[in-house]
């Protein structure tokens, strides 16, 4: 729900919470993460922005880091010269299958989070190839 380019989503998120009388505990933010491998979801109950400008904006607007976020790995298998250009560029047709899988994995993570809670969702989705839990890194 970013407004415009990277990083301006805090105001609209705050307005939504106020308009519908929601609490921070009701909020789930889904965002990209250039620091995670492509397709890897990572769920956290709270925490810093990790340098993500959109999360910075939301944290500043809400004056709190106490909301759940689902970060989706979008790091390519090659170096990125300009992160903003990479993140805002349209996907190529050849990437469509990978994008569909990424969105599907994200939807599964959010469904699990809503149905079973953050702890179970983190256990299920916050894993590396070796099975190591990364929820608190």
Q: Is 130 helix (H, G, I), strand (E, B) or coil?
A: coil
Q: What is the pLDDT at residue 15? A: 95
Cα gap 7→57, rounded to integer Å: 6
Cα gap 67→62, rounded to integer Å: 10
Q: Give the other-Cβ count within 10 Å of 104's Cβ.
A: 11
Cα gap 33→130, rounded to integer Å: 21
pTM: 0.82
pLDDT tens-place values along the chain, 137 residues long: 444 445 678 999 999 999 999 999 999 999 999 989 988 899 999 999 988 989 999 999 999 999 999 999 999 888 889 988 998 899 889 989 999 999 999 999 999 999 999 999 999 999 754 334 444 44
Q: Under CATH, what is the fold of the domain 10-125?
A: Rossmann fold (3.40.50)
Q: What is the pLDDT at residue 78? A: 87
């Amino acid at each position: 729900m970013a407004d415009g380019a990277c990083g301006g989503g805090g105001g609209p998120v705050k307005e939504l919470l106020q308009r519908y009388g929601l609490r921070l505990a009701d909020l789930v933010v889904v965002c990209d993460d250039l620091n995670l491998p492509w397709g890897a979801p990572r769920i956290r109950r709270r925490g810093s922005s990790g340098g993500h400008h959109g999360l910075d904006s939301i944290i500043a607007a809400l004056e709190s880091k106490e909301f759940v976020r689902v970060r989706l790995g979008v790091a390519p298998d090659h170096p990125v010269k300009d992160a903003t250009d990479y993140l805002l560029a349209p996907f190529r047709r050849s990437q469509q299958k990978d994008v569909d899988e990424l969105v599907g994995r994200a939807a599964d993570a959010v469904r699990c989070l809503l149905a079973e809670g953050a702890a179970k969702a983190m256990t299920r989705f916050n894993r590396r190839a070796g099975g190591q839990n990364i929820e608190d890194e």
